[in-house]
């Protein structure tokens, strides 16, 4: 591996290290119970009482780290669905840095921003509806 490739891979390696550190904090904190040290609450939920699109993501991440997919889906189903897209984007970015040229990903498709915003808006609305079956999405 050349020195240029070493330098190019420093940032992807740093993101992996930060991700591992974040996973360690979430595992130590145990956001699903009061046993771990407290993590800051979601400001949207704290101020309005409503679930934002990201509410439950820390508990979802904790559940995924423990291999509990059903609990992860309960805490934030949208985030679970988006994880493969985020991993695809990260992998293409890291591979592009390795090869020295950009790799096309879903985020460059024409309708991706609009579709993403609409999905997030719809998720925000349906998870706050106060009647079945939608009230099961409230965390």
Q: Does pLDDT of 108 surpass 90?
A: no
**106, 87 in Cβ contact below 8 A?**
no
- For residues 24 and 79, what is the distance between their CA atoms, to the nearest angstrom? 19
Domain-by-domain residue ranges, the chain? 3-33+40-137
Q: Does pLDDT of 119 surpass 80?
A: yes
Look-up: residue for tokens 């992860």?
72
At 24-74, the pLDDT tens digits run 999 888 888 877 667 778 888 889 988 889 889 999 999 999 999 999 999
Q: How high is the mean pLDDT of the chain?
A: 89
Confidence of residue 136 (pLDDT cuts 50, 70, 90): confident
Q: Under 8 Å CB-to-CB from 132, ≥6 apart: which residues?
A: none
Q: Under 8 Å CB-to-CB from 13, ≥6 apart: which residues?
A: none
Residue 18 structure tokens: 């930060």
Rounded to two decimals, what is the model's pTM? Answer: 0.83
Q: Does pLDDT of 123 surpass 70?
A: yes
């Amino acid at each position: 591996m050349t020195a240029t490739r070493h330098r190019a891979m420093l940032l992807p390696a740093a993101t992996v290290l930060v991700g591992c550190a974040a996973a360690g904090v979430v595992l130590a904190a145990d956001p699903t119970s009061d046993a771990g040290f407290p993590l800051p609450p979601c400001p949207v939920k704290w101020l309005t009482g409503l679930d934002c699109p990201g509410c439950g993501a820390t508990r979802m991440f904790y559940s995924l780290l423990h291999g509990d997919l059903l609990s992860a889906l309960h805490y934030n189903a949208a985030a679970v669905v988006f994880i493969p897209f985020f991993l695809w984007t990260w992998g293409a970015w890291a591979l592009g840095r390795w090869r020295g040229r950009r790799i096309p990903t879903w985020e460059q498709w024409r309708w991706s921003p609009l579709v993403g915003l609409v999905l997030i808006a719809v998720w925000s609305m349906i998870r706050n509806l106060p009647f079945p079956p939608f009230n099961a999405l409230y965390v």
